[in-house]
Chains A and B, each alone.
Chain A
Amino acid sequence: MTSEEMTRKVKELSGQNPYLCMQCGLCSASCTGIGVMDLLPRQVMRFLQLGKEEILKNRSIWMCTTCLICTARCPRGIDIARVMEALRTINLRKGNDILAPEDVPAELLAEIPQMALTSGFRKLSA
């Protein structure tokens, strides 16, 4: 995917304009995934602004919990969670996913509420 294609697709899938971002970093400071992401949401936005398509391969986009804290706080009104989902969706639609049912440990399956699987598969599996 070329960088133009990625930018167009992200805009289309998310309905958001990454160029509105002023790089304030509020989303990063608020993010649930802060301890485990290599690139925090502000940096994801910057990669998009610069058209760097390697962001599609970055694992940070899979660490998002769609908690919408970033979305609630962004002073530029960007729904960042939708941008993160757009990046996942581009991957998922090509069959690139990170969560396979058979990878979930049996002990966890015995304990976990099903809704964790339902939501996890919807966000992280193709």
Chain B
Amino acid sequence: MGIPYFPGCTLHVKAKGLDDSTRATLAALGLELTELPEWTCCGTAFPLAQDNYMGMVASARILAKAAKEGDGRLVTVCSFCYNVLKRVNFALKNNDEARTKLNAYLEENYNGELRVLHPLELLRDDLGFDSLKTRVDRKLKGMKVACYYGCMLSRPAKEMEFGEPENPALMEEFVKAVGAEPVDFPYKTKCCGSYQVLNNYDLVAGRVKDILKAARVRDSEVIITSCPLCQFNLDWLQDRFADEDKSFSKIPVLYFTQLLGIALEISVAKLGLDNHYVDPKPLLQAG
């Protein structure tokens, strides 16, 4: 039995590359994941109205069931899943009303005991970045990487415990450990426009342009993320930008686990590199 793992809806098809590369890289490093037996959507967005407990039910059920599975940990990699599961877990632990209502509705007795973990935390704490350094090939040496956390991983700081709300450092440490070079990237926790892609194209296009530009100013060769929605927003619009502006140069957007997979020399087929809009394959030749 590996560590209980919640993949999340999007990772089944759309972001299969994130799922595949997460499982393959962690397994290669001796961190086996076991998918939860039956799971639903986590709900993605943490409800911000104080009395909206219905919006927490899905996550609360997933957590209560996962607590019966493994060793008190739950790993999830999608930034939305990670954010909402961690916040609902926090509410179950620290908010009496949330705990009472959710347990009564679900007929469970779960009090937020689980530790919700991101694979970056596993790599840091269970494997250790020093040990990771010894496992990777020199393939990524000198590659300039922009670490894009987006808005979900580090805020709110008190609940997410993922470093400084606007200046986390975990992903940069990871990039160094796999032998690449993190660039200074002030846009790392800006928001890509998120679900407004459904509602306001201009908002998302504007934010994405800013983020891509900031990455390029630092000569980044690749942007990495752990969020399928960031990945999508940053990736699919680039074709359109390139049509509008001939001087626009594209930049591939990878999941951090895909970068790890490349460093570990895991076969490209297992990393889902074919499903990106901006082809990341040229990166592989670079090293």
Q: Which segment, of B49-57, B102-110, B132-140, faces chain A?
A: B49-57
Chain A's interface size range is: 35 or more
Q: Given A63-B203, A67-B151, A86-B49, A113 and B232 touching (CB < 8 A)?
A: yes
Q: Which segment, of B8-16, B120-128, B250-258, faces chain A?
A: B8-16
Residues of the B chain whose Cβ atoms lie less than 8 Å from the Cβ of A66: 45, 48, 151, 194
The 8 Å CB contact of A120, one of B15, B52, B199, is B199
Residues of the B chain whose Cβ atoms lie less than 8 Å from the Cβ of A120: 195-199
Task: Determine whether B119 belongs to the interface, using a CB cutoff of 8 Å to chain A.
Answer: no
Contact across chains for A116 and B198 when beta carbons are under 8 A apart: yes
Contact across chains for B48 and A99 when beta carbons are under 8 A apart: no
Chain B's interface size range is: 35 or more
A35 → chain B, closest Cβ, in Å?
A: 5
Give Cα A120 to B43, complex, Å: 11
Task: Determine whether A36 belongs to the interface, using a CB cutoff of 8 Å to chain B.
Answer: yes
Give Cα A64 to B165, complex, Å: 18
Closest 10 A-B residue pairs measured CB to CB? A67-B191, A120-B195, A85-B48, A67-B151, A68-B155, A119-B45, A32-B191, A119-B44, A72-B165, A65-B194
Interface residues of A (CB under 8 A from B): 12-15, 32-33, 35-36, 62-63, 65-69, 71-73, 79, 81-82, 85-86, 89, 98-99, 104, 108, 111-120, 122-124
